[in-house]
């Protein structure tokens, strides 16, 4: 089988499956990505073509394989302290919160966990300095593979370049032996984060309202109706006057009512809604 051995009709099948399961719209230029990420799965099941593989996914004849395919197609780039201005704004928000309350944050598309752990480090640093109430972080993703990575808290040293040195010393353990070249998030910090699989296009589970929700660089993969649906659902889990972070290049103006822009990629819920 050639790596480019996929027809337009076959590509349409996987595009429809991915959209139905995740809300993600694959453009016509993503055929090569699909082929490269799923080729080994076709081989692993001894199938003769992508057509046979996509037919099996659609029929559900290979248990668990649809989730595996979704996992492979929804892996997104992330890193510690991405878009650092957002974490400075997060500090400003925390400073305004009464010390006897609990500040709750949801990383709603946490991928491999760097965003959730960056949030946790930011909040714990404020707590350590007496500037923050107690805090809770929830992190979720559709992709089970990246959630497993996030829960482990184990990363390559190459991922640490954006982490300030004092935080690296305080919240990470350097690996030795077979873990040489790896770093591990401190156990106390890991235990403060609850990871769960949540599909944002499906009805959301019962969640305690959050002060802040992060959904950064995700909406770009959705068409407008799905974007609107996801944002409306997230607003239902945000406290009155709570804040939603999206990517700094993302714009929600005119998408839904009840959001007021307060900075690049930062929207406050209008308490009047």
Report DSSP letters for 59-92, one per residue. HT-STTHHHHHHHHH------TTSSTHHHHHHHH
Range list of H helices, 96-129 = 114-128
Question: What's the confidence (pLDDT) of residue 230?
Answer: 96
Same domain, 152 and 55: no
Which single residue is written with the structure tokens 């009840």? Answer: 258
pLDDT band at 1 (very low <50, low <70, confident <90, very high): very low
Q: Is 252 helix (H, G, I), strand (E, B) or coil?
A: coil
Spatial separation of the C-alpha atoms in residues 219 and 227, rounded to whole Å: 6
Same domain, 42 and 91: no
pLDDT, average across residues 67-72: 87
pTM of the model: 0.87
pLDDT, average across residues 250-259: 91
Which single residue is written with the structure tokens 């996992």? Answer: 71
**3 found inside a domain:** no
Same domain, 26 and 137: no
CATH number of the domain enclosing 109: 3.40.50.150
Which single residue is written with the structure tokens 């991405």? Answer: 82
**215 found inside a domain:** yes
CATH number of the domain enclosing 57: 1.10.155.10
Could you tell me which of 94, 161, 139 has the C-alpha nearest to residue 172?
161
Neighbouring-strand partners of residue 214: 107, 245
Instruction: Write out pLDDT tens, residues 2-16.
Output: 545 688 888 889 989
**1 found inside a domain:** no
Spatial separation of the C-alpha atoms in residues 175 and 172, rounded to whole Å: 9
Domain end (from 18, 49, 73): 73
Question: What's the confidence (pLDDT) of residue 202?
Answer: 94
pLDDT, average across residues 35-42: 89
**23 found inside a domain:** yes
Same domain, 36 and 171: no
Question: What sign has the CA pseudo-torsion 88, 92, 95, 97?
Answer: negative
Q: Are 105 and 137 in contact (CB under 8 A)?
A: yes
pLDDT, average across residues 264-272: 86
Instruction: Write out pLDDT tens, residues 75-108.
Output: 677 899 999 999 999 999 999 988 889 999 999 9
Angle, CA 202 vertex, CA 208 and CA 63 arms, to 5°: 120
Spatial separation of the C-alpha atoms in residues 38 and 107, rounded to whole Å: 28
Spatial separation of the C-alpha atoms in residues 148 and 161, rounded to whole Å: 23
Q: Which residues are catalytic?
A: 37, 141
**245 found inside a domain:** yes
Question: What's the confidence (pLDDT) of residue 91?
Answer: 96
Total number of domains in the chain: 2
Dihedrals φ, ψ of 119, to 5°?
A: -60, -45
Same domain, 175 and 118: yes
Share of the chain above pLDDT 90, in %: 63
Average pLDDT, the chain: 91
pLDDT band at 159 (very low <50, low <70, confident <90, very high): confident
Q: Which domain holds residue 45?
A: 8-73
Could you tell me which of 51, 42, 87, 90 has the C-alpha nearest to residue 243?
90
Question: What sign has the CA pseudo-torsion 217, 220, 226, 228?
Answer: positive
């Amino acid at each position: 089988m050639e790596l480019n051995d996929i027809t337009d009709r076959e590509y349409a099948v996987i595009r429809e499956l991915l959209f139905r399961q995740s809300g993600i719209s694959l453009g016509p230029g993503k055929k090569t990505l699909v082929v490269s990420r799923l080729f080994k799965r076709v081989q692993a099941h001894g199938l003769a073509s992508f057509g046979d593989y996509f037919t099996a996914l659609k029929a559900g004849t290979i248990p668990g394989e649809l989730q595996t395919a979704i996992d492979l197609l929804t892996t997104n780039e992330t890193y510690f302290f991405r878009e650092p201005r957002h974490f400075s704004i997060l500090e400003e928000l925390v400073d305004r919160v009464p010390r006897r309350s609990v500040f709750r944050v949801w990383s709603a598309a946490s991928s491999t966990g760097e965003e959730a752990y960056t949030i946790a480090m930011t909040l714990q640093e404020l707590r350590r300095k007496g500037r923050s109430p107690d805090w809770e972080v929830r992190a979720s993703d559709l992709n089970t593979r990246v959630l497993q990575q996030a829960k482990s808290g184990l990363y390559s040293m190459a991922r640490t370049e954006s982490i300030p040195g004092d935080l690296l010393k305080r919240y990470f353990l350097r690996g030795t032996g077979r873990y040489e070249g790896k770093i591990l998030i401190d156990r106390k910090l890991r235990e403060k984060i609850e990871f769960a699989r949540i599909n944002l296009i499906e009805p959301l589970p019962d969640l305690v309202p959050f002060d802040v929700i992060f959904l950064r660089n995700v909406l770009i993969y959705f068409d407008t109706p799905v974007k609107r649906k996801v944002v409306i659902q997230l607003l239902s889990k945000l406290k009155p006057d709570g804040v939603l972070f999206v990517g700094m290049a993302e714009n929600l103006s005119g998408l839904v009512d009840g959001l007021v822009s307060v900075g690049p990629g930062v929207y406050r819920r209008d308490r009047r809604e």
